[in-house]
């Protein structure tokens, strides 16, 4: 594996230093992905997210083989909901809100089965797991400090959902000086239109807050 590779990306090719790049996997949690879970109770089509799993399993395996820093995130809250602002808690129909009983335990509560990451992407020992109360992975977490400690300058951003937590995290990272490649087949939205436009927004205006690229070339570069 070469340390530096140039990948085909939108809006233009990007030189990646694989020694200072991390793979960030956002919120691949059962509550969002499994049939019967929180995402589906909100009326969403979870099959739109499940198509991400196969490519992301491949990219994660390649990143592990290459010894890349891997960071998983989980959106969720403390059991007493003290870290969930009322503006977030009171959103949506009662009985389908954060903290309510769901098919996989209390919805988006740390320690519950549904809050955890799907079996296919279980974090390995030594991989970082960031528990975040917000949509962005930098807000109220140690992510910035962990990336700085490892000398990371570029991020491969993956996970769900494209227009919500992936966008928020990418925007936060871009403002902090990280170059972000959002991996187009490894991010998913419940809404095909948001997936398409969400990816286009990142690369528009000369890459206003990042780049987009499919996983194939990245996996080859990591091998
Ligand atoms: N992880 C993440 O994107 N959280 C969400 O609530 N996304 C939705 O699209 N609902």
The pLDDT of residue 7: 97
29-32 long-range contacts, CB within 8 A, separation 24+: 29/74, 29/75, 29/76, 29/108, 29/114, 29/115, 29/116, 29/117, 29/118, 30/104, 30/113, 30/114, 30/115, 30/116, 30/117, 30/118, 31/102, 31/104, 31/107, 31/108, 31/114, 31/115, 32/160, 32/161
Q: Full-prediction pTM beyond 0.90?
A: yes
What integer pLDDT is reported at residue 46 of this predicted model? 97
- Find the 164 Cα to ligand 1 centroid distance in Å: 5
27 is catalytic: yes
**pLDDT of 187:** 99
pLDDT at residue 50 in the model: 98
CA torsion, points 164, 185, 13, 179, in degrees to nearest 10?
A: 40
Q: What is the pLDDT of residue 96?
A: 83
Give residue 88's pLDDT: 94
Rounded Cα gap, residues 187 and 181, in angstroms: 11
Kindly report whether the peptide bond that precedes residue 161 is cis, defined as omega within 30 degrees of 0.
Answer: yes
Q: What is the separation of C-alpha 105 from the centre of its chain, rounded to a whole number of angstroms? A: 22
Q: Could you tell me the CA-to-CA distances from 72 to 94, 131, 138, 202 in Å, in that order?
A: 29, 9, 12, 21
Domain 29-197 has CATH 3.40.50.1000: no
Model pLDDT, residue 31: 97
Ranges of H-type helices in 67-207: 86-89, 143-149, 167-175, 192-207
Query: Which of the following is catalytic: 31, 84, 116, 132?
Result: 132
DSSP per residue, 179-206: EEEEEEEEEE-SSHHHHHHHHHHHHHHH
The CA distance from 145 to 148, in Å, is 5
Does ligand 1 have an atom closer than 6 angstroms to the CB of 40?
no
Residue 58 pLDDT: 98
Give residue 93's pLDDT. 76
Query: Domain residues of the chain, as ranges?
Result: 29-197
Does the beta carbon of 165 sit less than 6 angstroms from any atom of ligand 1? Answer: yes
Q: Flag residues of the chain having pLDDT under 50.
A: none
Would you call 84 a catalytic residue per the annotation? Answer: no
């Amino acid at each position: 594996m070469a340390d530096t590779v140039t990948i085909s990306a939108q809006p233009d090719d990007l030189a990646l230093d694989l020694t200072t790049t991390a793979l960030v996997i956002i919120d691949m949690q059962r509550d969002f992905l499994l049939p019967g879970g929180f995402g589906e109770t909100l009326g969403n089509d979870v099959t739109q997210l499940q198509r991400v799993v196969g490519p992301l399993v491949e990219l994660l395996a390649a990143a592990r083989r290459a010894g890349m820093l891997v960071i998983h995130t989980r959106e969720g809250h403390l059991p007493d909901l003290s870290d969930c602002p009322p503006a977030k808690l009171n959103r949506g129909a009662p009985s389908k809100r954060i903290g309510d009983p769901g098919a996989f335990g209390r919805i988006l509560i740390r320690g519950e089965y549904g809050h955890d990451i799907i079996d296919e992407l279980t974090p390995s020992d030594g991989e970082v797991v960031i528990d975040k109360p917000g949509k962005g992975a930098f807000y109220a977490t140690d992510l910035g400090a962990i990336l700085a400690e490892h000398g990371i300058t570029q991020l491969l951003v993956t996970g769900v959902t494209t227009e919500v937590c992936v966008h928020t995290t990418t925007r936060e990272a871009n403002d902090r000086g990280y170059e972000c490649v959002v991996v187009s087949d490894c991010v998913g939205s419940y809404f095909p239109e948001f997936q398409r436009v969400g990816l286009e927004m990142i690369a528009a205006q000369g890459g206003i807050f990042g780049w987009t690229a499919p996983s194939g070339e990245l996996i080859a570069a990591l091998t």
